[in-house]
Amino acid sequence: MYIKYFLTAIAAALIAIVPIAAVNAEPPEVEINTVSSDQEERLPLRELRLFTQVFDQIRRGYVEEVTDTDLLENAIAGLLLELDPHSVYLNQTDYEELQENATGEYGGLGLQVASERGMIKVISPIDDSPAAKAGIEAGDFIVEVDGTPVRGMTVQKAIDKLRGEKGTSIKLTVFREGEKAPLDISVIRDTIQVSSVRSRIIEPGYGYVRVSQFQVGSGKDFKKELLSLKEKEPALKGLIIDLRNNPGGLVPASVEMVDAVLDGGTVVYTEGRLPSANISFDAKSGDLLQGTPIVVLINGGSASASEIVAGALQDHQRAAIIGTQSFGKGSVQTVIPLGDGRAVKLTTARYFTPNGRSIQAEGIVPDIIVEPAEIRLYKKRKQVREADLDGHLEQADGEKKKAQNPDKEDITDDNQLYEALNVLKGFQLLRKRVSGEPETQN
């Protein structure tokens, strides 16, 4: 209602004060409403007149001509500019990019590229992508796109040229080592789905899941990766969830992720001015990992939905949080489409962890703080051991002990991940000692 009054007042003031040329159609009839004293406070006419004066000065005196449409669009953007850092006006391009990031889908070829010596180099084609099916290989250099040279072009500009609507064709001229001449390869663009979740076994018994952002399918992909890890390691001893430098994304995806490893309980709740902004998100019963110890890695780049996951698992004592204090974005943004390809992203609520903690401008404090550091092993002089002495006794069973964990991954270049694995091993050791199970060396 107030927006209607605001726009009506702006239109009336503009017509009255700002001379608008080339207006052929007659202005529409405007219904005059009685404005209450409360509404008068919300519609300061003095500032509206000031707005129209500034509008007129800009459109008449600015060094370059600016259209009325651009000025009004800038004014709309300005309405949100000073509210908070996350409330913004989205033009058509911005809105399309936001939707693309949220879904992880785009129309393109399915290539990972980088700039090398002023040329666009293919790092790798995504499996089963149009590029892979057309024969593009890792190490190829793209020299032309539809006949246009790309040498010296920025990576982002090259990516923009490679992307396009599903079903459209594009011709790439590539240079491949071992070939006498450049190759011309035609590719039909398709919808490319990029997952933000990946996993691996970093050491027998211990899994690792990296989540780079929270997209529409991130929760489902997380469950899929957990099941994959359990298939590889039926007796999974521990899991590391890496949320470092994850800027966040969609709240439902973070809730679904927590739901996968939490056996019921509140995940997060939000509070705002509108009734629709007051919501509680709960996990259903059933833990896919059945209590397997979890460590969550966070840092100053972990924000929003990442902090929802870390805060929920910390409050429910389901995981140990390791790393450094998170970013501290405890607000929820609602994207409001405007019906013409544009939208407004507006902060509508604050969110709270299950224990009622607001992390706004505070962040999640890890249970164990581990600053990024370099792990450097000291070079040791060879020491004489019992096994080096002549005539030493052999082991009682007469067999030499085999090397432990031949498949162990070297993660010493990432001290936070290294410490997270050590914590998981500590959980495993303590559990065995408490339960009386026989201990095995890792």
CATH number among 3.90.226.10, 3.90.190.20, 3.40.1390.30, 2.40.170.20, domain 197-369: 3.90.226.10
The pLDDT assigned to 399 comes to 57
Q: Domain 105-193, what architecture?
A: Roll (2.30)
- Provide the mean pLDDT of the chain: 87
The pLDDT assigned to 393 comes to 80
Position 56, amino acid: D
Catalytic pick from 304, 306, 326, 331?
Answer: 304
At residue 394 the predicted structure's pLDDT band, cuts being 50, 70 and 90, is: confident
Catalytic pick from 140, 329, 331, 345?
Answer: 329
> Which of 123-127, 207-211, 416-420 has the weakest average pLDDT?
123-127
Average pLDDT over residues 300-312: 97
The pLDDT assigned to 400 comes to 55
**CA dist 436 → 30, 188, 439, 441 (Å):** 82, 61, 9, 15
- What is the token pair recorded at 164? 């396009």
Query: Which comes out higher in pLDDT, residue 118 or 243?
Result: 243
pLDDT in tens, 336-386: 999 899 999 999 999 999 999 999 999 999 999 999 998 887 777 777 888
304 labelled catalytic? yes
The pLDDT assigned to 310 comes to 98
Angle, helices 45-61 vs 68-81, to 10°: value is 130
Where exactly does CATH 2.30.42.10 map onto the chain?
105-193
Task: Look at residue 39 and tell me whether its pLDDT is greater than 60.
Answer: no
Give the whole-number percent of the chain exceeding pLDDT 70.
87
DSSP of 232-251 = H-TT--EEEEE-TT---B-H
Closest CA to 306 of 267, 249, 380, 236: 249
> Which of 1-5, 84-88, 203-207 has the weakest average pLDDT?
1-5
Give the whole-number percent of the chain exceeding pLDDT 90.
69
315 labelled catalytic? yes
pLDDT in tens, 209-242: 999 999 999 999 999 999 999 999 999 999 999 9
The pLDDT assigned to 308 comes to 98
The pLDDT assigned to 43 comes to 78
302 labelled catalytic? no
Query: Burial, 331: exposed, middle or buried (Cβ in 10 Å; 0-12, 13-18, 19+)?
Result: buried
Query: Which comes out higher in pLDDT, residue 44 or 190?
Result: 190
Task: Look at residue 266 and tell me whether its pLDDT is greater than 90.
Answer: yes
Where exactly does CATH 3.90.226.10 map onto the chain?
197-369
How far is it, in rounded angstroms, from Cα 271 to Cα 364?
A: 19
How far is it, in rounded angstroms, from Cα 58 to Cα 73?
A: 14
- What is the token pair recorded at 124? 């790798």
The pLDDT assigned to 405 comes to 59
At residue 127 the predicted structure's pLDDT band, cuts being 50, 70 and 90, is: confident
pTM for the structure as a whole: 0.81
Catalytic pick from 315, 326, 331, 345?
Answer: 315
The pLDDT assigned to 41 comes to 58
Q: Where are the alpha helices (DSSP H) in 37-124?
A: 37-42, 45-61, 68-81, 92-103
Task: Look at residue 25 and tell me whether its pLDDT is greater than 50.
Answer: no
